[in-house]
Chains A and B, each alone.
Chain A
Amino acid sequence: MKNDLITLDNVSRFYGEVLGVNRVTLSMPPGITSLVGPNGAGKTTIMNLVTGLIRPTRGRIRVLGLSPTQSHKLFGLVGYATQFDAFPKGLSGFQFIYSFLRLFGYSNAECKRLANKVIEQVGLSDAAGRKVAGYSKGMRQRIRLAQALAHDPRVLILDEPLNGLDPLVRAETINLFRRYATEGRHVLVSSHVLHEVDMISDQVVLMSGGYVVAEGQIQSVRSEIQERPVKILIHCKQPSLLASKAFEQDHVVEAQLLTEGSGVLITTRDADRFYRLLNHLALSGIDIEGVTPADDNVNSVYDYLIGGEEKMSP
């Protein structure tokens, strides 16, 4: 196995009976990898698993060949900025970075140098002496980022790192990710907004309900979603007629009449074309009472991510 990969092999994690992630198999090479999905999709669970903050219920994880349980070795290589917006009490920005750098075994002088350097890097030099408790949300986000960057890790893991950042800092932060990626390091970021990360990502992992629904380069992920068959439930007075009309279309994979004769379940590879067909059939006299996407998993991700992006486009 190559030692420059982050790999998850059939990894599942349950919180009691609640699913965190299920049967996730991923292989992440150096570069920027984005975990994208709505809230509750399992992005943070994946990050916590990779960093050993939680353990998988089953499956195997390796980060550059190391198990996340070997935290004393792992965190020399990994920096993780979590989403937890809490800090040890009473520390200034500088003290926060400095104090935790001391735990890496650096000398006093080295800790000071690294702390000052990283604080400058995230643009918090002026606020370094102030208590973190008094920071704005964006500043707290940046100091967390600084803590992850401070020891110059080979793997940078950032949970929703662009949340709360103003446009200028956001651009600087993205540049920082790019620089890290071009140096051959791993940058694993999460986001619930695809368009936020798709421009910078070398690889995108789309997640929903604890499952990986698509992964790869952004273009292939888009087409993978678009080509994935979608189930649509139609309630109508003439289900047999609607099924036969639908089945004439090449993108319709399956048409299944409901047992009570109240409708039909259509499986199509092109939802947009099918919806246009439905409009046409309705105009031609078929009485359609209701249309419901029956495959929430992929549809919700699609609507949420791709649909959201389209709405935002000019």
Chain B
Amino acid sequence: MMKLWYGQIVSVVRLEMKKTFFSKRGLWVYLLAFAPVVLYMVHSVYATRQRQHLAQLATEHPISQAAFNGIKTGLSRDQVVAKLGEPYWQRTRYHHGGNGKKRSFVFYRYTDGKNDVSYHFEDNKLTWIHRRDPDTLPKSQLIFATSFQFYFLRLAIFFGCVGIFVNLFRGEMLDKSLHFYMLTPMRREVLLAGKYFAGLLATVVIFTSSTALQWWAMLWQFERGVIVDFLAGPGWIQFGAYLSVTALACVGYGSIFLAVGLLFSNPIIPTAVVLLWESANPFLPPLLKKTSMIYYLQSLCPVTAPPDKNMPPLINLLISPTEPATTLTAVTCIVLLTLLVLVLASRLARKLEINYGTD
């Protein structure tokens, strides 16, 4: 019997493959998944070129760190130029004040080959200094963690699973072709499992590929030695963790949206409810937090995303801090939640009727 079920599941996966991977309806899933890869790649290319450019400028006009340290606000432009030489980039603007007096605003940029320093003069006096630090690996790791947890998990994988899993049943009801499965000697539970695995295969392949490419694009700008040292340290473990979290997100969200596709003719409202619940997670009390998928997924992320510095204090007060779940707890809870949803979905599948006219 198990052999028959296995064969049926494989056959369903094969039949669904084209629809899950290459459906025109699902092209936006690829856009969601691979947009961050493009952004990381563009940033890496820009950062590498900028680094090379600054190094070249520093070679042509070397400036000592001591000279940089000697620049304070209140100095005049001539004093700054006397200490640092001519800037590699400058811009002047004039502004007419209320009393008809013309004011000048001058921007100078210098580099020591790594840092890019901007000086802002108002009426010939240095009023503001901005130092742009070079991209470092720890900084990139934090950016990756933030983007992964706040965009990739909460939006890209979430909506990707909506697009693929909801369509497994609902899409076929709309196409009026679901009954062909129902006309075969296959248990509804087996059909559900086959469709779930088909959706899982597609989402795991698409989103873990994207995670791997994002990771590679993030590292691409750094020198080989830096990358090798990082990978030899926590790098591979972090990489594995991100891939696992991606796959677990597909496992969890996939089960939810498979059930949504079975239960609801219009998946928009239930999807919005799930999205709201997942988004409200930081503000939920600890007990309720543990009933959302994102809590466990974030607990498994290897780098904690830094808090948003621009968040209004009032909203910051509403955030309820909760200890992340342990790896074992998080994985167990995601798997149990998934199994629970799949069991409920299989009950729905058993009662499913082919009644296209009312769908």
**Highest count of chain A CB atoms <10 Å: which of B175, B185, B351:** B185
Q: How far is the CA of A272 from the CA of B12 in the complex (A)?
A: 58
Q: For the complex, is A48 an interface residue (Cβ under 8 Å from B)?
A: yes
For the complex with contacts A89-B177, A105-B7, 11 further pairs of A-B residues with Cβ separation under 8 Å are: A51-B183, A71-B182, A75-B183, A80-B183, A87-B180, A88-B15, A88-B172, A99-B14, A102-B11, A104-B185, A148-B183
Chain B, interface residues (CB within 8 Å), range:
20 to 34
Q: For the complex, is A283 an interface residue (Cβ under 8 Å from B)?
A: no
Asked if A72 and B186 sit within 8 Å, CB to CB, the answer is yes
Measured CB to CB, the closest approach of chain B to A78, in angstroms, equals 8
Q: How far is the CA of A82 from the CA of B183 in the complex (A)?
A: 10
| Contact partner, A105, options B4, B183, B357, Cβ 8 Å | B4
Asked if A86 and B177 sit within 8 Å, CB to CB, the answer is yes
Asked if B184 and A103 sit within 8 Å, CB to CB, the answer is yes
Chain A positions near chain B (C-beta within 8 angstroms): 15-16, 48, 51-55, 71-76, 79-80, 82, 84-90, 99-100, 102-105, 147-148
Contact status of A103 and B18, CB under 8 A, knowing A54-B354, A71-B182, A71-B186: no
Please give, as numbers and ranges, the residues of chain A lying within 8 Å of B15 by CB-CB distance: 88, 99
Q: For the complex, is B176 an interface residue (Cβ under 8 Å from A)?
A: yes
Please give, as numbers and ranges, the residues of chain B lying within 8 Å of A79 by CB-CB distance: 183
The 4 A-B residue pairs whose C-beta atoms are closest, nearest first, are A86-B176, A102-B11, A103-B184, A53-B354
Chain B positions near chain A (C-beta within 8 angstroms): 4, 7-8, 11-12, 14-15, 18-19, 23, 172, 175-177, 179-188, 351, 353-358
Please give, as numbers and ranges, the residues of chain B lying within 8 Å of A72 by CB-CB distance: 185-187
**Chain B residue at minimal CB-CB distance from A85:** B176
Contact status of A103 and B188, CB under 8 A, knowing A75-B183, A82-B179: no
Contact status of A103 and B19, CB under 8 A, knowing A71-B182, A74-B185, A80-B183: no
Asked if B356 and A84 sit within 8 Å, CB to CB, the answer is yes
Asked if B177 and A87 sit within 8 Å, CB to CB, the answer is yes
Q: How far is the CA of A86 from the CA of B182 in the complex (A)?
A: 14
Asked if A90 and B186 sit within 8 Å, CB to CB, the answer is no
Asked if A15 and B358 sit within 8 Å, CB to CB, the answer is yes
**Chain B residue at minimal CB-CB distance from A95:** B15
Please give, as numbers and ranges, the residues of chain B lying within 8 Å of A48 by CB-CB distance: 354
Please give, as numbers and ranges, the residues of chain B lying within 8 Å of A53 by CB-CB distance: 179, 182, 353-355
Asked if B185 and A71 sit within 8 Å, CB to CB, the answer is yes
